[in-house]
C-alpha cells in the first residue's frame, strides 16, 4: 500500500518500446514506489535498465505502457510545472548571460519581467553564482555551469527535481565539491529530489534512500535506507564509518565483480 500525500508515486508501471520486426523491448516492469515530500532518493542500476525512462515518465515526457505515475497526487499526463529536469549536459544557451539563462524557463510562464529577474538572481545567490550573473556560459567552469543549470531548474519552483547523472562529466574533486553545493542548495530549497547515478559513493553521500534496479527489464530489487547523518554535507558523509558498508552492499546487489565493461 502506498502512502497517501506522496510527492511522487509509481504504481505498477511498465514501459515497453515497439521494435521493428520483433517483440517489444520491455525497458521497465513492475515499478512501484513512492517518494515523500523533501525526500532525496537515488536510483542506481546497470546501464540500460531504465533509469532515464523513470525520469522521463516522472517529467511527463513519456507515458507508461501500463500503470500510472502521480506527482503531488495528480496523474502525470504530460510535461508540467511541478517537475524540473536537469541533465548531464547543462544545456545552457551560449548566447545568453547566466542570469538570462536562469530566466529562460520562466519566460513561458505568467511571471512579470521584474519578478523573473528577482527570482533568477535569488536562485543564483543560493547557488553562489551571483557574481557571475552577467557572464556567459563559456566564461564559467564545468562545475559552475552545472550550478547555473541547477539554478535554472529551481527558478521554476518545482516540487520535484530530477537529476540524471549531473556530475558524471566532471573530474573527481569538482564532483565532490559540486555534490556538496547541490546537497546544500537542495536542502535549503526544500524540493523533493530523484537522482540517477552510476557512482555508488555519490548515491550514499547524497540521498535518504537508494532504489536499486536489476538488468533490463528493469525492476526494483532493493531499497536501501541511508541512515547516515548530515544529508546536506555529502563530503562529511563519505568518511562516515558506515558509508563503506552501504557502498559494499550496493556493489554486491549490482554484482559488479561479475560484470565486464
Ligand X SMILES: Nc1ncnc2c1ncn2[C@@H]1O[C@H](COP(=O)(O)OP(=O)(O)OP(=O)(O)O)[C@@H](O)[C@H]1O
Tell which one of 51, 116, 152, 231 touches ligand X (CB under 6 A). 51
Region near ligand X per CB under 6 A, out of 30-38, 41-49, 130-138, 231-239:
41-49
Q: Are 150 and 195 in contact (CB under 8 A)?
A: no
Return the CA Rg of the chain.
18
E strand or H helix at 42? strand 40-44
Shortest CB 211 distance to ligand X, Å: 12
Please tell me whether residue 168 binds ligand X under the rule CB under 6 A.
no
End-to-end CA, the chain: 38
Shortest CB 129 distance to ligand X, Å: 28
Q: Are 96 and 104 in contact (CB under 8 A)?
A: yes
Residue 1, helix vs strand vs coil = coil
Shortest CB 135 distance to Mg ion, Å: 30
Q: Out of Mg ion, ligand X, none, which partner does residue 216 contact, by CB within 5 to 8 A per kind?
A: ligand X
- Within residues 36-55, the interface with Mg ion by CB under 5 A covers 51-52
Q: Which of 160, 124, 158, 164 is nearest to 144 (CA)?
A: 124
Q: Out of Mg ion, ligand X, none, which partner does residue 53 contact, by CB within 5 to 8 A per kind?
A: ligand X
Residue 225, helix vs strand vs coil = strand
DSSP-assigned letter for residue 231: T
DSSP-assigned letter for residue 115: H
Region near ligand X per CB under 6 A, out of 3-11, 42-50, 88-96, 108-116:
42-50
| Cα dihedral sign, 251-253-258-261 | negative
Shortest CB 136 distance to Mg ion, Å: 29
Please tell me whether residue 58 binds Mg ion under the rule CB under 5 A.
no
Judged by beta carbon, residue 53 or residue 101, the one nearer ligand X is 53
Judged by beta carbon, residue 163 or residue 224, the one nearer Mg ion is 163
For residue 112, give every residue at least 6 positions away whose Cβ sits within 8 Å of its Cβ, in sequence order, or none.
none
Judged by beta carbon, residue 141 or residue 168, the one nearer ligand X is 168
- Within residues 212-231, the interface with ligand X by CB under 6 A covers 216
Q: Which residues bind ligand X (CB under 6 A)?
A: 17, 25, 27, 45, 47-53, 216
Amino acid at each position: 500500500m502506498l502512502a497517501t500525500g506522496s510527492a511522487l508515486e509509481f504504481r505498477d508501471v511498465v514501459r515497453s518500446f515497439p521494435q521493428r520486426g520483433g517483440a517489444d523491448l520491455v525497458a521497465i516492469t513492475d515499478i512501484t514506489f513512492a517518494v515523500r515530500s523533501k525526500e532525496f532518493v537515488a536510483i542506481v542500476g546497470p546501464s540500460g535498465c531504465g533509469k532515464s525512462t523513470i525520469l522521463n515518465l516522472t517529467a511527463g515526457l513519456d507515458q507508461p505502457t501500463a500503470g500510472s505515475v502521480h506527482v503531488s497526487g495528480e496523474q502525470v499526463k504530460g510535461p508540467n510545472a511541478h517537475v524540473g529536469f536537469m541533465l548531464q549536459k547543462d544545456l545552457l544557451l551560449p548566447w545568453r548571460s547566466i542570469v538570462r539563462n536562469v530566466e529562460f524557463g520562466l519566460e513561458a510562464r505568467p511571471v512579470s519581467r521584474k519578478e523573473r529577474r528577482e527570482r533568477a538572481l535569488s536562485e543564483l545567490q543560493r547557488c553562489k553564482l551571483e557574481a557571475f550573473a552577467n557572464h556567459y556560459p563559456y566564461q564559467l567552469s564545468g562545475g559552475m555551469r552545472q550550478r547555473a543549470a541547477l539554478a535554472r531548474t529551481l527558478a521554476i519552483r518545482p516540487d520535484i527535481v530530477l537529476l540524471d547523472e549531473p556530475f558524471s562529466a566532471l573530474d573527481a574533486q569538482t564532483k565532490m565539491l559540486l555534490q556538496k553545493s547541490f546537497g546544500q542548495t537542495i536542502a535549503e530549497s526544500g524540493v523533493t529530489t530523484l537522482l540517477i547515478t552510476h557512482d555508488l559513493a555519490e548515491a550514499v553521500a547524497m540521498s535518504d534512500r537508494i532504489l536499486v534496479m536489476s538488468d533490463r527489464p528493469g525492476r526494483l530489487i532493493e531499497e536501501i535506507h541511508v541512515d547516515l547523518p548530515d544529508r546536506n554535507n555529502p563530503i562529511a558523509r563519505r568518511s562516515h564509518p558506515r558509508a563503506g558498508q552501504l557502498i559494499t552492499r550496493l556493489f554486491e546487489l549490482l554484482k559488479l565483480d561479475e560484470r565486464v565493461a
